[in-house]
Amino acid sequence: MEENSSFSFKFLIFNSLAWGIGYHGLALSWITGIHPMTWLGVPWWPSLAIALFCWAFITLWGAALVAVWAWLFLIFNTPIIERSKSKFSALISVLIGTALWCALEYLWSSSPLWWTSLSYTQSPHNLAILHLGQLSGPSASTAAIVAVNGLIAEAWVEGEKNQEEGRKVNFTPYILAVTLCLILHLIGFSLYSRPLTEEAKSQLKVGIIQGNVPNEIKFNSEGWGRAMEGYTTGYQNLANQGVDAVLTPETALPFVWTNPNQRFDLSLYQAILDRKVVAWVGGFGQQENSITNSLFTINGYGELVSRYDKTKLVPLGEYIPFEQFIGKIINRLSPLDAHLVGGKSKQLFDTPFGRAIVGICYDSAFAEHFRRQAAAGGEFILTASNDAHYTSAMMAQHHAQDLMRAIEIDRWAVRATNTGYSAFINPRGETVWISDVNSYEVQAATISRRKTQTLYVRWGDWLTPLLLVLGAIAQIFQRR
């Protein structure tokens, strides 16, 4: 019996690791796009080694979540299987499995490495299920996926057992799985179908400039000239269209904007003084002896009226974990002379048009970051990113993340990226406009400022603790 139990444990862990490596490894394969980093001065072979190490590490980090889930599920579920023959055993197993997965995703999303929640697999196409996010954030969509697939798995296991014992196939478990799937989609669709109430006085015409400046030339004179021409011309074009504000990508003009001597000589800055249209400009800020990846609000008088510093920095790309141990080996990953530091977690970004919700690049993966700003009065979303060194697959995933955030907090989202995909997304998760990849783009659209508060904005992720409590109660009840 012990040998069989040991075999089952090893088999379960092996399969969970294999699934985790397959899922996270495939989803995150774009990370190898950081190679080659010869433009940063890293030789070709070391660059390849760094890219493969990053891919392997982040894949195994995600696979570890699946393995830990399988281990915990085996611990909590085995007593139910061994001691009970209740017809509710399968349902309790699914409840426990769903609660554990949501809890682990919550813990993983609190770490510096987070991207591939199960919920994002439904974005951007399954808008009905994504609207469950308005109830309890991404955990609601994740719970739906785990629960439905868990019921299917339990049905399959029971079918195999019935076949071995010569009994007829019981279709009830399959019907239960299909029924739950339909109910969840109907709930999501009812949320999706609610009309968008937009007041004329809340409307705001915003322009996007997608600069299309490759990272290979971004920090030299060629890239600088291309950026200045593209952003100045784009700003003037949008100002002629009567926009209220213009958004540029992450580090569109890569210098310290808090130094006024650097701004005054820029053609873009002079254009702002001339046209008097508000600009949200991506650049660097200064924090004591370090610098920040920031987005600035510049009013028509050239004044910096607000600033947001990127909160979630990319490990290895923007800062070096355990720098005292491995800093000398991979310090060349950063093109900057000084290291970046993250912004404070409770920043607010006030603009001449009201409070905005801001995310820069990697921030997009962290739903709580956007929920907090919406709860603090944020009326629309601005995200600025630079995915120039990655494939279109990564750009699509990034768009999918921002689309989920728009749905969860019921806000319009404006995305400006360097090379794609830039977009306008309405609160239903519908992409009103999306750019091409690796092209220079200038686009304007009218959005609305909204003050609604979804259940998720008000209560946060209440579903995960509820599932854990229900799972514990059900397990105690079943044992008795």
List, by residue number, the catalytic residues: 250, 310, 361
- Give the C-alpha separation, 87 to 71, whole Å: 24
- Cβ count within 10 A of residue 157: 13
- Cβ count within 10 A of residue 252: 27
- Give the C-alpha separation, 398 to 36, whole Å: 22
- Give the C-alpha separation, 66 to 71, whole Å: 9
Count of alpha carbons within 13 angstroms of residue 416, beta-carbon side:
30
Whether the CB-CB separation of 379 and 450 falls below 8 Å is answered with yes
Residue type, 57: F
Backbone angles phi, psi at 201, to 5 degrees: -70, -15
Tokens encoding 243: 């926009």
Q: Where are the beta strands (DSSP E) in 361-455?
A: 381-385, 413-417, 423-425, 431-434, 441-448
Q: Closest Cα to residue 447, out of 429, 430, 424, 431?
A: 424
Question: Would you report the helix, strand and coil content of the chain in percent, each value rounded to 5?
Answer: 55, 15, 30
Q: Closest Cα to residue 425, out of 359, 337, 346?
A: 359
